[in-house]
Chain A
């Protein structure tokens, strides 16, 4: 069976890639997708420890995280659509109405 550290390292790599995507890109949808990648890396870590400690609580937590991520995706995309209707662009640098 695959050792626990392998899964944890994979989760760390995916999380770091997600962080890079959030900090580097200007396209709002790609930033959103990087956030989803980070959420999945966290899911992987939860399930790794659920198997390691023989506990079902990790899996139930992942279940709830998925439901909440679905809700977040729906509302986030609705916000992007509203932003796009105003500015004709998804570039997050253009969403600066509250800038001084």
Chain B
């Protein structure tokens, strides 16, 4: 009962902030709404008995990736970009198409899932079993992801670095 209330409150928050992300014209407000939406999703993950992933979501997504977004927006002064409402046909098709897509998805989900009436044994995953699984069965993807992150760091630096005299960045040659 309490879980349902928490679910509805935070689901409403996640959806409302997501709508603010795509509709507000100030980019900084969009970014901060996305942080709030991701935080509400982290609460959802705790409800789904995955507390470790919830903590990771706040640390990695809401705490690092979105800070990166905010830095880029603020340092490049991107909130001053105003959007002229050109291409109204495309906008309308965008709204209509995504609404139709969403409604179709929800219809098929409701048709396909059975509301559980059986008692559910709780499955609070602990970090130890997650760690064991990560280092035994998934050790190869784990190491590959570390190399991927290294290449992402190097790529980001190469794309944005300037020449020694402050000339044009080398990423455009």
Point out residues on A near B: beta carbons under 8 Å. 1-10, 12-21, 23-27, 29-30, 32-34, 36-37, 40, 43-44, 47-48, 50-51, 54, 56-57, 59-60, 62-64, 66-75, 77-82, 84-86, 89-91
Complex CA distance for A59 and B125, rounded to whole angstroms = 9
Which chain B residues lie closer than 8 Å to A15 at the CB level? 102, 105
Q: Is the CB of B27 within 8 A of A67?
A: no
Q: Is the CB of A13 within 8 A of B15?
A: yes
> Contacts A1-B120, A4-B113 known; A17 to B134 CB distance under 8 Å?
no
The 0/1 profile, CB within 8 Å of A marked 1, for residues 119-159 of chain B is 01111010001100110001001000100110111011101
Which chain A residues lie closer than 8 Å to B4 at the CB level? 2
Residue of B with least CB distance to A40 = B41
> Contacts A59-B50, A77-B69 known; A82 to B169 CB distance under 8 Å?
yes
Q: Is the CB of A37 within 8 A of B21?
A: yes
Q: How large is the interface on B (under 10, 10 to 19, 20 to 34, 35 or more residues)?
A: 35 or more
Q: Is the CB of A23 within 8 A of B97?
A: yes
Residue of A with least CB distance to B157 = A78
Of the residues B15, B72, B145, B169, contact of A17 by C-beta under 8 Å: B15
Residue of A with least CB distance to B152 = A71
Besides A13-B106, A36-B65, 19 new A-B residue pairs in contact (Cβ under 8 A), listed by A number = A1-B3, A6-B11, A7-B48, A9-B109, A17-B98, A17-B102, A29-B30, A29-B78, A33-B30, A34-B22, A40-B61, A43-B41, A47-B45, A54-B123, A70-B65, A70-B152, A77-B72, A82-B159, A86-B172
B25 shortest CB reach to chain A, Å? 9
Which chain A residues lie closer than 8 Å to B95 at the CB level? 20, 24
A67 shortest CB reach to chain B, Å? 5
Q: Is the CB of B99 within 8 A of A20?
A: yes
B31 shortest CB reach to chain A, Å? 7
Q: Is the CB of B53 within 8 A of A59?
A: yes
Q: Is the CB of B22 within 8 A of A47?
A: no
Q: Is the CB of B105 within 8 A of A30?
A: no
Q: Is the CB of B130 within 8 A of A56?
A: yes
Complex CA distance for A56 and B130, rounded to whole angstroms = 7
Which chain B residues lie closer than 8 Å to A47 at the CB level? 45, 48, 50, 53
Which chain B residues lie closer than 8 Å to A23 at the CB level? 90, 93-94, 97-98
Of the residues B38, B65, B115, B171, contact of A82 by C-beta under 8 Å: B171
Of the residues A14, A27, A40, contact of B81 by C-beta under 8 Å: A27
Q: Is the CB of A89 within 8 A of B102?
A: no
Of the residues B7, B30, B98, contact of A30 by C-beta under 8 Å: B30
